[in-house]
């Protein structure tokens, strides 16, 4: 049982301290005892705990929306607050559908997503995600959606193919799928700029997202980027898509927005989408009771102010560079480490039985689960992901330490992970 939080550490009921090396799953970007965020929550709950958005907006929700828009890429211009990542993705899918309906293009109903992806656990978001393990037992309830390959260079780039050519080839699969479905029937494409919960911090090849943006524009298909995990500074940019030089039509964020202090997510959309609905039926036909919850918004506002006032995104770049060097020094030569990838303070290590052939461990060995347990024993929380049964993808762990972690704390985490890795891999 977790009973306390202290900076980058979690404390259990026995008093044992754990370095929070993954922030759950990239949630706790400010660590666990941020006074400014705690004070903002207390002040808001004393002033106004709740007012339904069917009647009111609130000061913290307005201020947070303004601040997000002031820093958002492209022409993202409106914000819709929800309680988490799945709700943000559901909202995005429904907004895309309603946008086309309002413009008289009701035949646009297909959403294209990627095979190696996770967009949430509610049925719409789970339908969009391509994570086979998460989908398996719910498949009969899921909506049919198209899935193209994600940009996963380590496993899928061909011998002798340049990274750029691989990126273009993989992006072109979107055009092929749009043409197969009929361009007039496709409403949107959804992707994570850096794949989180399915692959473990895999950025796209250079030029991939620029080509994706081009293809979406060519066919009037909306581009939805899911930055629920990789957004809010995690990759060393406030929004991960900044590194790709593109902006989406709809952007989903969550985890790092509330930093774990409150459950909050958001969907941002362009003015064109907002105007199509405002000038049409005038009403986005979607909502939940806790939309724009004032206390959650107060937490989100304080988190974003902390990121901006303390220049923590620049700190992510600096600490991220340090972390990458230390990570590679410790693990790159390891005979069972196939790949180390990531950006900022968002890193994945993929383990393989055999490096040259990139052969994954037999999933029955449960390497990722064993790593989670061994790291936990060493006082480190890291997020494990089991390899898939199609034999292409190895077990991996995701590291997403708090932005406030010192170099010494990051070193300590890697030492603990190193001991856990040595112990588990010797045993399998
Ligand atoms: N999208 C992505 C990219 C995610 O990583 C997650 C959560 N891991 C979600 C959506 C769903 O978010 P939540 O668990 O807050 O519903």
Domain match, 235 and 316 both? no
Cα(374) to centroid(ligand 1), Å: 25
Domain match, 317 and 378 both? yes
Say how many CA atoms lie within 13 Å of 322 toward its Cβ.
15
Q: Decide which of 309, 337, 352 is a domain's last residue.
A: 309
With a CB cutoff of 8 Å and minimum separation 6, the contacts of 249 are: 96, 188, 216, 222, 223, 224, 269, 270, 272, 273
Q: Decide which of 255, 290, 309 is a domain's last residue.
A: 309
The DSSP annotation for 207-229 comes to THHHHHHHHHHHHTPEEEEE-TT
Q: How many domains does the chain have?
A: 2
Domain match, 11 and 94 both? no
The atom of ligand 1 lying closest to the CA of 86 is 16
361-404 pLDDT, tens per residue? Answer: 998 999 999 999 999 999 999 999 988 756 577 899 999 999 99
Instruction: Note the pLDDT of residue 185.
Output: 98
137 phi and psi angles, rounded to 5 deg: -80, -10
- Rounded CA separation 419/405 (Å): 20
Domain match, 237 and 353 both? no
The atom of ligand 1 lying closest to the CA of 226 is 3
Domain that holds residue 20: 2-33+311-427
280-301 pLDDT, tens per residue? Answer: 999 999 999 999 999 999 999 9
Instruction: Note the pLDDT of residue 390.
Output: 62
Domain match, 271 and 402 both? no
Instruction: Note the pLDDT of residue 216.
Output: 98
Ligand 1 pocket mutation pick from 125, 131, 197, 231 by most atoms within 8 angstroms of CB = 197
318-369 pLDDT, tens per residue? Answer: 999 999 999 999 999 999 999 999 999 999 999 999 999 899 999 899 999 9
- Rounded CA separation 380/14 (Å): 15
CB 254 within 8 A of CB 26: no
Domain match, 10 and 73 both? no
- Rounded CA separation 395/389 (Å): 11
> Looking at beta carbons, which pairs linking 174-180 to residues 24 or more positions away fall under 8 Å?
174/112, 174/148, 174/212, 174/215, 174/216, 175/215, 175/218, 175/219, 176/148, 177/112, 177/146, 177/148, 178/112, 178/215, 178/219, 178/221
The atom of ligand 1 lying closest to the CA of 85 is 12
Largest CA distance in the chain: 64
Domain match, 144 and 233 both? yes
Domain match, 231 and 141 both? yes
- Rounded CA separation 126/73 (Å): 27
Closest CA to 255 of 27, 24, 8: 27
Cα(47) to centroid(ligand 1), Å: 30
CB 212 within 8 A of CB 191: yes
The atom of ligand 1 lying closest to the CA of 89 is 10
Ligand 1 pocket mutation pick from 83, 86, 267 by most atoms within 8 angstroms of CB = 86
Ligand 1 pocket mutation pick from 224, 255, 346, 383 by most atoms within 8 angstroms of CB = 255
Domain match, 301 and 415 both? no
Q: Read off the pLDDT of each residue in 236-245 and give the average, rounded to a whole number.
A: 98
Structural element, H or E, at residue 339:
strand 337-343
The pLDDT of residue 256 is above 90: yes
Atom 5 of ligand 1, nearest CA residue: 229
Give the Å distances, CA to CA, from 208 to 75, 197, 286, 402. Answer: 21, 20, 32, 29
Domain match, 392 and 262 both? no
DSSP, res 354: B
In this prediction the pTM is: 0.98
Cα(356) to centroid(ligand 1), Å: 33
Beta strands 17-20 and 380-381, pairing class: parallel
Confidence of residue 156 (pLDDT cuts 50, 70, 90): very high
Domain match, 22 and 49 both? no
Domain match, 99 and 20 both? no
Q: Decide which of 309, 340, 373 is a domain's last residue.
A: 309
DSSP, res 45: H
Cα(132) to centroid(ligand 1), Å: 16
CATH code of 347's domain: 3.90.1150.10
CATH code of 298's domain: 3.40.640.10
Q: Which residue has the tokens 């774990």?
A: 260
Atom 1 of ligand 1, nearest CA residue: 119
**Could you tell me where the DSSP H helices lie in 192-290?**
208-219, 255-258, 271-278
Tokens for 110, please give them. Answer: 């297909």
Q: Which residues line ligand 1 (CB under 6 A)?
A: 25, 84-86, 89, 118-120, 192, 196-197, 226, 228-229, 254
């Amino acid at each position: 049982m977790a009973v306390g939080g202290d900076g980058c550490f979690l404390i259990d009921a026995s008093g044992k301290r754990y370095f929070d090396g993954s922030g759950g799953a990239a949630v706790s970007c400010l660590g666990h005892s941020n006074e400014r965020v705690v004070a903002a929550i207390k002040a808001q709950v004393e002033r106004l705990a709740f007012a339904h958005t069917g009647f009111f907006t609130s000061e913290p929700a307005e201020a947070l929306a303004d601040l997000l828009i002031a820093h958002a890429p492209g022409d993202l211009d409106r914000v819709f607050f929800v309680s988490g990542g799945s709700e943000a993705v559901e909202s995005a899918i429904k907004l895309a559908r309603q946008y086309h309906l309002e413009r008289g293009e009701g035949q646009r109903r297909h959403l294209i997503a990627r095979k190696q992806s996770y967009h949430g656990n509610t049925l719409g978001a789970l339908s969009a995600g391509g994570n086979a393990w998460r989908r398996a037992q719910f498949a009969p309830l899921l909506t049919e959606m198209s899935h193209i390959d994600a940009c996963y260079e380590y496993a899928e780039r061909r011998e002798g193919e340049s990274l750029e050519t691989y990126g273009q080839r993989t992006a072109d699969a979107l055009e092929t799928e749009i043409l197969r479905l009929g361009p007039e029937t496709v409403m949107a494409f959804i992707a994570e700029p850096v794949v989180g919960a399915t692959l473990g911090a895999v950025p796209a090849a250079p030029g991939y997202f620029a080509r994706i943006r081009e293809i979406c524009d060519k066919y009037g298909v909306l581009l939805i980027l899911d930055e629920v995990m990789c957004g809010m500074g995690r990759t060393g940019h406030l929004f991960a898509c900044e590194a790709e030089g593109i902006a989406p039509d709809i952007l989903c964020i969550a985890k790092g927005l509330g930093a774990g202090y409150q459950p909050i997510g958001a969907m941002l959309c362009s003015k064109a989408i907002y105007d199509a609905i405002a000038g049409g039926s005038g009403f986005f036909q979607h909502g939940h009771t806790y939309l724009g919850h004032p206390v959650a918004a107060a937490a989100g506002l304080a988190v974003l102010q902390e990121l901006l006032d303390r220049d923590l995104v620049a700190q992510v770049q600096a600490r991220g560079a340090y972390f990458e060097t230390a990570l590679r020094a410790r693990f790159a030569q390891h005979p069972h480490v196939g790949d180390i990838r990531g950006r900022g303070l968002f890193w994945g290590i993929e383990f393989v039985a055999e490096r040259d052939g990139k052969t994954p461990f037999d999933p029955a060995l449960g390497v990722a689960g064993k790593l989670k347990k061994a790291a936990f024993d060493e006082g480190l929380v890291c997020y494990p992901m089991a390899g898939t049964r199609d034999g292409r993808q190895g077990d991996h762990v995701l590291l997403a330490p708090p932005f406030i972690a010192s170099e010494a704390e990051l070193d300590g985490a890697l030492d603990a992970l190193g001991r856990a890795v040595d112990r588990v891999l010797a045993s399998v």
